Amino acid sequence: MSNNALYLYGIIISHNKNWKEHGIKRNNIFLINEGKFSAIVHKCDEKPYNSADPVEVRDLILAHNNVLDKAMKDFGAVIPLSFNTIIKTSKSGKTAEENLRNWLKDNEEDLIKKWNKINGKKEYGIRIYYEKEKLLNKIKELHKIKQLQQKIQIESAGVAYLLKGKVKEEVDKIGQKQILEYRQNFYDSTKKLVFDIVINQSKILLDEEKDLLLSISILVNKEQIQKVNNYLVNKNFYFNVAGPFAPYSFVNSQKSEISVTPKTGGSCRNE
């Protein structure tokens, strides 16, 4: 039997609006209301949307996200669900709609907390970069490094070789410390300007080709994103801001605090 499942895009506060939109594969979207919330869905088969063509997969994901963008615009916020979240019929004979309604009722308290957190807010992604060559040149001007460089000029070849290794080690050590201080300052300052912040974990090394300093996601309203942008402009670091997005990072992920020391090293529901 086809179209006996429901593709779930996201959750909004209960609404009786006749929302006429199209989703993935131009499917007609409708709302299922249960208690305090409404689910944004379309009818589908009990199988995920897949393709061997990466361009088609990209288009499917874009269609999913476009629905969420429209929901944020029309309803003020949306609790997003991951791409290919599909509610199926159950072995006991319950329909996909019955399973979805039960899920909405069982999770109403959690959904209320999430809605209160994200209502009227959007997610933005921010990536901040440092200038590696500028940082390295600054470190090489330090008195400690200059002293080692001077010793290299007067020592024997063997000692000079060892000293060159020590210089590199010291430069890397100082560079890593400076990068972590930059990261901490950006994190602490940005955190004061937003409702919530999540670090997108990445391993930053001094000899990395891409000089990424910090990647974060923030939850903000209109006034806050302007304040964040102004703050970043005044810091004279290269950065880019992407968004707004549905707030995935703030309903589906655990928050993380920044570390001041270096570190090494789609779903289907069938109730």
Q: Tens digit of pLDDT for each residue in 212-228?
A: 888 999 999 989 999 99
Higher pLDDT, 70 or 165: 70
Please write the tens of the pLDDT for every residue from 185-201. Answer: 999 999 999 999 999 87
Domain extent for 217: 122-265
Answer yes or no: is 223 within a domain.
yes
What pLDDT is recorded for position 172?
73
Domain stops at, among 91, 118, 145: 118
Cα atoms in the Cβ-side hemisphere of radius 13 Å centred on 81:
20
Domain stops at, among 82, 101, 118: 118
The pTM (predicted TM-score) of the whole model is: 0.76
- State both tokens at 22: 């199209």
Domain stops at, among 84, 102, 118: 118
What pLDDT is recorded for position 271?
43
Answer yes or no: is 148 within a domain.
yes
What pLDDT is recorded for position 212?
85
Do 214 and 130 reside in the same domain of the chain?
Answer: yes
Do 203 and 71 reside in the same domain of the chain?
Answer: no
What pLDDT is recorded for position 265?
32
Q: Which of 7-21, 61-75, 163-177 has the lowest mean pLDDT?
A: 163-177
What pLDDT is recorded for position 118?
93
> Is there a cis peptide before residue 244, judged by omega within 30 degrees of 0?
yes
Do 141 and 101 reside in the same domain of the chain?
Answer: no
Domain count, the chain: 2
